[in-house]
Structures are given as structure tokens and as C-alpha cells.
Amino acid sequence: MNKALVINPEKCAGCHSCEMICSLIHDSECNFVLSRIGIMKSNGGGTNENIPMVCQQCREPFCADVCVMGAISRNEETGALIVNQDGCIGCKTCVIACPLGGILYHYIKQCSMKCDLCNGDPACAKSCLYGALEFLPMDEWGRKKRLKGAQNLSKLLDVVYK
């Protein structure tokens, strides 16, 4: 795995275009219920009104751990965790086990669905107009993350010393 889907919640405008393109590509239908990515709206308060939530492709994934059919496996090429939809029995244990809500239940196919990074070329990142979703190489991501951490720290120091 040398690339990762990076989320910048402060840039998200909440336009839901990533949800639309995601369901369109995977299920030929624009339907946010069938989307692997979801924009969560906070109910007032806080400056970040919209936060995109998507599978983080964990290194030690709970979902693959609890799957009684061994249907969740990693694609070594892209680093994405893939649900084998023929193997899935739709028991939803993975939905319960995931702390981030990264894996969802597909009510039409009656099985679990999750982000598969579109075989290494995520459509959501390409469709995002605001740069809230980016598909970046790991080293570049690390640099950006460090910069963002520094910005957060300076904000926090402002709060502390105000």
C-alpha cells in the first residue's frame, strides 16, 4: 500500500457529490443509501459542519476479524479491504464491530459493502471540488499531516493562552 485516501474535514462543503459518484460507480444508481462514503452533518455547534466518513483500511481490521465467513480480505495491490459479496451471509457483525462506521449494509444485495478504493483510483477523490478528499502517496500524506498537526497545535495554544 503506497497511497491513501485522505480526508480534510475543514474543506468539506457538504455537497454530497462524492456519495453520488460512489453509488453511481458501484451500483449504477445515484443513491446516498448505497454510498460507501458518507458526509455526516453535526447538529449545530462546532465549526466543522460536515465530516466525510469512510473506511480507513485499518492495519488490524475488526471487520475482517469478526467475519465468520472470512469474506473480508485485503487486496495487496491497492491495500484496500474487500468484501467478497458471494461469501457474505449478511449477518452484519462487521457493521457492529467497526468503530468508525466504515462498513455498511447493502439493503438490496443483502450483504456488507465497504470502500474498495475503486481498484486504486477512487472516484470520490476525483469528483471532490473542494479538495476535502485526496488520494495521496503515503510520504506526501505524512508531510501534509505534520503541517496540519502544527496548525492544530497553534490553534490549541491560542485557546490556552487567550
Partner 1 sequence: MGNGIGGFSAASTARQIDPLCDVTVISSEVFPLYSACALPDYISGHRSREQLFVKTNRDYEQLRIHMQFGQEVREVDPVSRKLSTARGESLCFDRLILATGSEAILPGKTKKGVFKLRTLGDADELLKHGGRKAVVVGAGPIGIEIGIALQNRQYEVTIVEMMDNVLPLGLDGRGAGRVKAILAEHGIRVFNGERSEKILGNGQVEGIVTNKREMKCDTLVWAIGMRPRVDLAREIGIKIGDKGGIKVDRHMETSIPGIYACGDCVESMDILTGEPYPSLFWHNANRQGAVAARNCLGFPVEYPGSQSILNVDVFGNHVAGFGFTEAALHRFENIKGLGGKMATISVFEKEENQSYYRLVLLDDRLYGAQFINLDSGAGLLWSLMFRKKSIKDIVKILNDDTRLIHNPWLRPIKPFFV
The binding site for partner 1 (CB under 8 A) comprises 9, 40, 42, 45-48, 51, 53, 62, 65-66, 68-70, 86-87, 89-93, 95-101, 105, 152, 159
CA distances 157 to 10, 88, 161, Å, are: 19, 48, 6
- Return the half-sphere exposure (C-beta side, CA atoms, 13 A cut-off) of residue 67: 25
71 and 113 in contact (C-beta within 8 Å)? no
Cβ-based neighbours of 24, under 8 Å, separated by 6 or more: 30
Nearer to partner 1, 64 or 123 (CB): 64
| Least distance to partner 1, CB of residue 9, Å | 6
- Cβ closest to partner 1, residue 101 vs residue 131: 101
Closer to partner 1 at the Cβ: 100 or 138? Answer: 100
Question: How far apart are CB 124 and partner 1 at their closest, in Å?
Answer: 18
Let me know how long the chain is: 162
- Least Å from the CB of residue 140 to partner 1: 23
Beta bridge partners of 53: 38
Nearer to partner 1, 139 or 159 (CB): 159
> Least distance (Å) from partner 1 to the CB of residue 122?
20
In the numeric block, which cell numbers belong to residue 81?
Answer: 479491504
